[in-house]
Structure 1
Amino acid sequence: MRFYQATTFLFPRRYEWRVLFVCFGAVHVPLLACIAYQAATGQWQPTTLLVLLGATLFSTVLGLAAIRALLRPIETATQMLRAVQAGERVGMVPVGNEDLVGRLLHGVSVAANESAPRIERLIETAERDELTGLRNRRGFLDSARRLLAGESNGVLAMVDIDRFKAINDRFGHATGDALLREVALRLENGVRRSDVVGRWGGEEFAILFPDTLLEEAHVVMERLRASIALDPSLRGDEWPVTFSCGIAPVRSFAHLENATRNADGALYAAKNGGRNRVQISKDE
């Protein structure tokens, strides 16, 4: 460590350049010694100096190239360690021999393998709604970004439980939470595995139907609306459970924000129209 610390003034941010510089100087020691000897004795041999200079330059180029290649695995390992520290997924780690670089690569591989499951659990936890188990808004948007990577025919549905605040006020928050879990379960079980259901916030849910026509999504949401409205386990004698829904087409992830506004507008129209209905957005 002492020599390492003592040479930090040489390229402080580029360790590999420091190594190359030291090797460059070491390769030229024979040439400098020959020049010093001939200068001291006064017996100059230009041919010998030229041959030695050419050989020195040639070996310098080869040596620096070889050292640069030997340092490349260390550079790769450093980049992978930074990725692990940043919580990013690391690809295949190169396998080394039983030497210093091999042990370093093995250490990176162990760190990456131990970190990957933990990172995935953290991401999964961060993108899940604790109450309902659905994707939260962040998780929903991350899934939508993958599904709407290119141009497509998709549909976004915004769902809101009717008179949920009154249910909370009358029966208590525990009943309201239980109702949110039950509605979330029925929404997730009532769509395809390729569809994405998320809790948008409060009593509002979002459903993304990728590669789906507007009429097809409308039929699905009408079926879900009717099944929840008629579900005897949800319907109370005093307070039936229903939801209102607005749906709008979405062509790409860049169009999702606009589609959300359109679906929200249709949702409010459904609310103002008497609730317990599915409204198609009139805006594109």
Structure 2
Amino acid sequence: MQFYRATSFLFPHSLRRRLFALCLVTTHMPLLGYIGWGLATGRIAWAECIILILATMAGAAGALIGIGALLDPIHALVDARDEGDAPRPERGGTPTLPTVGDIIARLFAGMSRAAHPAREIDERNIAAQEDPLTGIANRRGFLAQLDTLPHARRRGCIAIIDIDHFKQVNDQLGHDGGDHVLGDFAARLSSQTRRIDLIGRWGGEEFAIFYQDAIEDEASWSLARMADRMRQEPVGRVNGQPISFSAGLCAWRGGPVTAAIAQAEEALHRAKRSGRDQIRRAERPSTQAYG
């Protein structure tokens, strides 16, 4: 793009003429050098010089014909833009070369997408499964990660976590402050879990963790350690008190994950009804075999 702008003094309103000028100069540079050397030394052979001039002009003409053919799709896009199929410049403005450059970029992007359709689909799928605010998986992504686990790895503990009094967080810190708290809390979860554990934003101020190959005591200890750090190094304060969280925990032994999640949510509700800032385990862990 810098070179594109640096050549704007050459026919600033015609990309085709600019390319013609550059092509003509660059293809004749060796010939001009030969003529200059011949004139300086007195050893110029005019017959060979004329042949070289004709050959160079033929090569330049061929290059220009090829460039013209390559520019035809771009000019078609320009025509479509002028007819209203693409965004117009502001009223009263005149088309400039950066506008043509935008068209070239769009054309290249379209060719790249056509060459890599599978990659574009994968990128869309990843974006659909990622929470844009926190950068971790959303509910759909979290469940998709669970679904891709081998059967032997679908065992551990499911935790559903809720930030306490989050309405007050938004009321006192504003929605931007609330978003900041959510982002910091997601980062805190990521930093205090193992690489094999799965983390997702379940929705709103709720998060989910799958502690892979962990028993309830291990998962409960991990959550208690997070809660203690939240008190010592809070992600924010409400009414002068550190922001805390409540959590419900349920063992998952390979049965339907929806049943384990439902029991973890029920345990979370008991923790909130009991005063918040605590961890409760499901009363009846999911023990049904996967199948």
Does 1:266 find its partner at 2:270? no
Hey, what's the Cα distance between the residues in 2 that align with 1:217 and 1:181? 22
Q: Secondary structure at the match of 2:250?
A: strand
Does 1:141 find its partner at 2:131? no
Hey, what's the Cα distance between the residues in 1 that align with 2:139 and 2:269? 20
Partner deviation per Cα, 1:174-204 (whole Å, 9 max, x = no partner): 1111000000100011101111100000000
Change in CA separation of 1:123 and 1:262 when aligned onto 2, cut-off 3 Å: same
Q: Give the letter aligned to residue 264 of structure 2.
A: A
Q: Structure 1, unaligned stretches of length 5 or more?
A: 1-109
Contact map agreement 2:137 2:201 (CA 8 A) in 1: yes
| TM-align CA RMSD | 2.1
Q: Give the letter aligned to residue 157 of structure 1.
A: A
Give the match for residue 158 of structure 1.
160
Change in CA separation of 1:151 and 1:199 when aligned onto 2, cut-off 3 Å: closer
Contact map agreement 2:184 2:235 (CA 8 A) in 1: no
Contact map agreement 1:148 1:210 (CA 8 A) in 2: no
The Cα shift of 1:236 comes to: 6.2
Hey, what's the Cα distance between the residues in 2 that align with 1:130 and 1:114? 24
Give me the TM-score of the superposition, normalised by structure 1: 0.57
Give the match for residue 223 of structure 1.
225
Partner deviation per Cα, 1:187-242 (whole Å, 9 max, x = no partner): 01110111110000000000011211111111111111111122155346724210
Hey, what's the Cα distance between the residues in 1 that align with 2:115 and 2:212? 33
Contact map agreement 2:158 2:251 (CA 8 A) in 1: yes
Change in CA separation of 1:148 and 1:212 when aligned onto 2, cut-off 3 Å: farther
Give the match for residue 27 of structure 1.
none
Alignment of 1:159-198 (within 5 A): 159-198=161-200
Contact map agreement 2:163 2:245 (CA 8 A) in 1: yes
The Cα shift of 1:171 comes to: 2.1
Hey, what's the Cα distance between the residues in 1 that align with 2:221 and 2:115? 45
Q: Secondary structure at the match of 1:165?
A: helix
Give the match for residue 208 of structure 1.
210
Identity among equivalent pairs (%): 37
The Cα shift of 1:170 comes to: 2.3
Give me the TM-score of the superposition, normalised by structure 2: 0.56
Change in CA separation of 1:233 and 1:183 when aligned onto 2, cut-off 3 Å: closer
Give the match for residue 21 of structure 2.
none
Hey, what's the Cα distance between the residues in 2 that align with 1:134 and 1:151? 21
Partner deviation per Cα, 1:86-135 (whole Å, 9 max, x = no partner): xxxxxxxxxxxxxxxxxxxxxxxx99971232222111111000111110
The Cα shift of 1:261 comes to: 1.0
The Cα shift of 1:255 comes to: 1.8
Hey, what's the Cα distance between the residues in 2 that align with 1:174 and 1:111? 35
Equivalenced residues, count: 174
Change in CA separation of 1:262 and 1:233 when aligned onto 2, cut-off 3 Å: closer
Hey, what's the Cα distance between the residues in 1 that align with 2:178 and 2:263? 28
Does 1:123 find its partner at 2:125? yes
Q: Secondary structure at the match of 1:172?
A: helix
Contact map agreement 2:161 2:207 (CA 8 A) in 1: yes
Q: Secondary structure at the match of 1:134?
A: coil
Hey, what's the Cα distance between the residues in 1 that align with 2:250 and 2:123? 33
Q: Secondary structure at the match of 2:256?
A: helix
